Amino acid sequence: MTDQTTIPATSGAFVGDLQLPLTVQVKNLNHFFGEGELRKQALFDNYLEVRRGEIVIMTGPSGSGKTTLLTLIGTLRTAQEGSLKVLGKQLQGCDRDLIVNVRRELGFIFQAHNLFESLTAYQNVNMAAELAGLDPMIAEGRIKSLLTRLGLGDRIHYKPKSLSGGQKQSESPSHGDWSTNPNSSWPTNRLPHSTKNQDEKSSPFSKSSPATRAARSSWSPTTIAFSTLPIAS
Amino acid sequence: MKTPLAWKNIKHNKTRTAIGVAGVGFAVILIFMQIGFKGAIKKTATQIYDALEFDLMLRSPAYLHLTEPRAFPRSRVFQAASLSEVANARPFYLGLSEWQAPVSHLADINSATIDPDDPAGQWRSIITMGTDPHDPVFLRKDICQKAKLLSDPRFVLIDSESKPEYGPATGGEFSEADLGVETALGPQRVRIVGLFRLGTGMASNGACLTNPEGYIRACPWQTIDQINFGLIKLHDPSTATQVKRQLQKMYGIPERVTSAESFRNFEAATLTNVDVEILTRAEVNAHEEYRWVVDTPLGQIFSLGVWVALFVGIAIVYQVLSSDIANMMGEYATLKAMGYNNRYLTGVVLQQSVLLALVGYVPSLLISALLYEVVEAASGMPMFMTPKIMFIVFVLAIAMCVVSGMGALRKLYQADPADLF
């Protein structure tokens, strides 16, 4: 983000008098692309604090660094300079195993779905369930109820090719939503991502969008959404 | 049970898998053919020796290779027979002579309709072997049986594996139709009294068998007392090296280390005063293989060919696999982003590589076996699909795919998932 923020952007996230813990903590974060003379800075000294249960929506013009910050928080990119803590773990300069563990705690809704073409909707979601080490019997029930809730009940055994764009997007949040933490129910933390101009109906922030539905259906996830469009109402 | 992602990927995109299988298959066929050619050279080297019955072989120290064996005194064989360990010791004659393709099947030699490609009347060099018809030196019962027909020096058996240029009546290979046909072998007239099937690989295009007197008629520069090989059969083949040492002492051959590996260290100078050398079967085979595989240009070409095929194969498989992995990079990056570690990713890619190798190997094996037949029929090279070749190529196919898969994986290891979508 090119516009510097010195005050941590947070609303607090209180339950009674109790402030919920920080899930994302960004300090002094700089990020560069390219090498040598082509090296270009994309993030300038970014600050951000997000607490459990908050829904954060960030907007900005194309090229302002939204995706860069989101992918950094989502552990899809290696942090270069500054401090980046996700779920209490410092990601800047950490080793590969820690990143792999943090990734398992996160959900990431991809802009381009990124589903496995060779697997059915059920098997796609099951890839995440297997990673979480869920009992197959329990996983089966959860996957079916999740996909049904997302409106894919009758498409459970279809491959992505025969799903519509919206259906694919419904399926993709379920990829990362399997917390291994027994104290929290799933979904836990998700980062819906949309930089494309989308109409109200398919926007991830609309009432009917998968991200909103998934966020409402659980008790306290942290949700960060990014868009180039100002959010209507 | 875990989702078999590798198998699902292979099954899902049939076009991509077909291209992969074709690439791997092509590489595998290349390797099969080159190994087959090299095998043919090796087989050529020992094809005739494999058909002979012996535990120890006597031959001239001036021996060069099968068709240039040189000669030594027959008395050495009789000397060897005096040892109690020796079951029998037999002379064997072998050399190159000239064979005139029979003209007898031509109805009218003056006819204008004579096929210009008909080899009738032309002279070809031929491997000529001489053995005692009462005590043939061959291992195979059918050849020994046929050898009994050689009761007269003017009689010959012709190898039905001989090329059509030797003038079989049918134009294809020698058959029953050629029995009784007369032609010339060297400076003398002979009659074909029978057939045998042996094959000489690339040493010669044809072979015939006669008795010792017949051999001398065909190769008049040799006398009956000058033989090419002495074949010694022992009561107990395990005593071969011990008997060899006894014979060396008997012949006055200086003591020296001679093993299959050290035949190259033979010093000709130490052999000038002796007229015979003694080799075990392993030494004979090793010498002959070395002669054909390393000394001849043909052997070197095919040995090199195996390596070339291997590198070309790796290049093809790498191209196919890396573009396959590049196509799926987004999916692999998603796995990475979800929290699957590099070990899992490696597993998926390697499984996919090995599956591709397996699916590519099976049809290639069948095609190669067919090609072996075609090449053997067309060129007379003894191409054999042995379990050993199948196994070697199988291992190579898997190794090629695994190495290529690992190479293609490097990018996935190092990059951040965000850069791979």
Please indicate, yes or no, whether residues B67 and B184 belong to a single structural domain of this protein: yes
Q: How many CB pairs under 8 A join A and B?
A: 78
Distance CA A58, CA A187 (A): 21
3-class DSSP state for residue A124?
Answer: helix
The residue-averaged pLDDT of A63-91 equals 89
Cβ neighbors of A26 (< 8 A, separation 6 or more) are A46, A47, A48, A49, A69, A73, A82, A83, A84, A85
Mean pLDDT in residue range B400-416? 82
pLDDT in tens, B26-38: 989 999 999 898 8
Q: In this structure, what token pair is assigned to residue B362?
A: 């099976």
In tens, the pLDDT along B300-325 reads 888 888 888 888 888 888 888 888 88
Q: Do A116 and B2 touch (CB under 8 A)?
A: no
| Structure tokens given for B356 | 């591709």
Q: Residue A227: which of A76, A73, A56 has the closest Cα?
A: A56
State the average pLDDT over residues A82-106.
Answer: 87
Say if residue A164 is exposed, middle or buried (CB neighbours under 10 Å; 0-12, 13-18, 19+). exposed
Compute the average pLDDT of residues B399-407.
86
In a domain, B49, yes or no: no
A130: contact with B, CB 8 A cutoff? yes
Alpha carbon distance B278, B312 (integer Å): 43
* Partner residues linked to B158 by β-bridges: B195, B208
Which positions in chain A touch B332 (Cβ < 8 Å)?
none
B109 domain-assigned: no
As a whole number of angstroms, the distance between CA B195 and CA B182 comes to 14
pLDDT, tens digit, 9 for 90 and up, residues B39-54: 888 887 788 899 999 9
Task: Determine, for residues B8 and A116 on separate chains, whether the beta-carbon distance falls below 8 Å.
Answer: yes
Is residue B169 classed as helix, strand or coil in its secondary structure?
A: coil
pLDDT reported for residue B65: 84
Mark whether B86 and B202 lie in a shared domain: yes
Instruction: Tell me, yes or no, if the pTM score tops 0.90.
Output: no
Q: Does residue B162 lie within any of the structural domains?
A: yes
Give yes or no: residues B377 and B230 share one domain.
Answer: no
Tens of pLDDT, residues B144-168: 999 999 999 999 999 998 888 898 8
pLDDT confidence of A207, banded at 50, 70, 90? very low
Indicate whether B326 and B262 sit together in one domain.
Answer: no
Whether A30 contacts A82, CB under 8 Å: yes
Tokens matching residue B302: 């095919």
When pLDDT is averaged across residues A201-209 and rounded to a whole number, the result is: 43
Q: Residue B53 domain-assigned? A: no
Give the minimum alpha-carbon distance from B321 to chain A in angstroms, rounded to a whole number. 17
Assigned domain for B285 exists: no
Q: Which of B242, B275, B308 delimits the end of a domain?
A: B275
Question: What per-residue confidence (pLDDT) applies to B372?
Answer: 93
Q: Among B313, B300, B298, which Cα is nearest to B31's?
A: B313
By the 8 A CB rule, do A222 and A86 touch?
Answer: no
User: Do B367 and B410 reside in the same domain of the chain?
Assistant: yes
Domain total in chain B? 2
Distance to chain B for A175, nearest Cα, Å:
7
B59, B228 Cβ separation under 8 angstroms:
yes
Within a domain: residue B255?
Answer: yes
B243, B275, B307 - which closes a domain? B275
Q: For residue A220, what pLDDT is reported?
A: 53
- The domain A14-227: what is its CATH number? 3.40.50.300
Of B275, B306, B326, the residue at which a domain comes to its end is B275
B389 shares a domain with B335: yes
Residue B283: per-residue pLDDT: 92
Residue in chain A closest to B10 (alpha carbons) equals A118
For residue A125, the model assigns a pLDDT of 86
Which A-chain residues 162-201 have CB contacts (< 8 A) with chain B? 175-176
B-chain residue closest to A131, CA distance = B340
Domain containing B325: what range?
Answer: 5-43+297-420
Q: From chain B, pick out residues whose CB is under 8 angstroms from the CB of A112.
A: 330, 421
Q: What percent of chain B has pLDDT over 70?
A: 92
pLDDT digits (tens, 9 = 90+) for A13-48: 677 777 778 888 999 999 999 888 889 999 999 998
Spatial CB neighbours of B267, under 8 Å, sequence gap ≥ 6? none
Query: Taking a C-beta distance cutoff of 8 angstroms, is the pair B196, B160 a contact?
Result: yes
Query: Residue by residue, what is the 3-state secondary structure of B188-224?
Result: EEEEEEEEECCCCCCCCCCEEEECHHHHHHHCCCCCC
Q: In terms of domains, do B329 and B412 share one?
A: yes
Q: How many CB atoms are located within 10 Å of the residue B372 CB?
A: 22
Q: Do A117 and B342 lie within an 8 Å CB cutoff?
A: no
Is residue A101 within 8 Å of A181, Cβ to Cβ?
no
Q: Give the best-scoring range by mean pLDDT among A195-199, B256-260, B352-356.
A: B352-356
Residue B258, pLDDT > 60, answer no
State how far the Cα of B308 lies from the Cα of B365, in Å rounded to an integer.
19
CB A143 within 8 A of CB A178: no
Query: Which helix or strand (DSSP H or E) is residue B57 part of?
Result: strand B56-59
pLDDT over 50 (residue A215): no
A19: its two tokens: 């402030």
Q: Based on the fold, state whether residues B254 and B319 are members of the same structural domain.
A: no
Instruction: Give φ, ψ of A158 to 5 degrees.
Output: -100, 150
Provide the pLDDT for residue A30.
92
| Mean per-residue pLDDT over chain A, rounded | 72
In a shared domain, residues B36 and B69: no
- Hey, what's the torsion of the CAs at B160, B161, B165, B166, to 10 degrees? -40
pLDDT for A8 equals 46
What pLDDT is stored for residue B112 in this prediction?
60
Within 10 angstroms of residue B133's Cβ, the number of other Cβ atoms is 20
Question: B121 vs A27, which has greater pLDDT?
Answer: A27
* pLDDT tens-place string over residues A176-190: 444 333 333 333 345
Cβ-based contacts of B341 with chain A (< 8 Å)? 96-97, 100
Q: Where are the beta strands (DSSP E) in chain A?
A: 14-15, 18-19, 22-33, 40-51, 55-59, 81-86, 89-90, 106-109, 189-192, 222-227
Per domain, the residue ranges of chain A are 14-227
Instruction: Report the first-to-last Cα separation within chain A, whole angstroms.
Output: 24
Q: Check B331 against A117: CB less than 8 A apart.
A: yes
The model's pLDDT over B356-387, given as tens digits with 9 standing for 90+, comes to 889 999 999 999 999 999 988 887 778 888 89
Share of chain B above pLDDT 90, in %: 41
The overall average pLDDT reported for chain B is 86
- Using the beta-carbon criterion (under 8 Å), do B337 and A74 form an inter-chain contact? yes
Chain A residues closer than 8 Å to B339 by CB: 100-106, 131, 176
Instruction: Give the strand pairing for A40-51 and A22-33.
Output: antiparallel
CA distance A97 to A118: 28
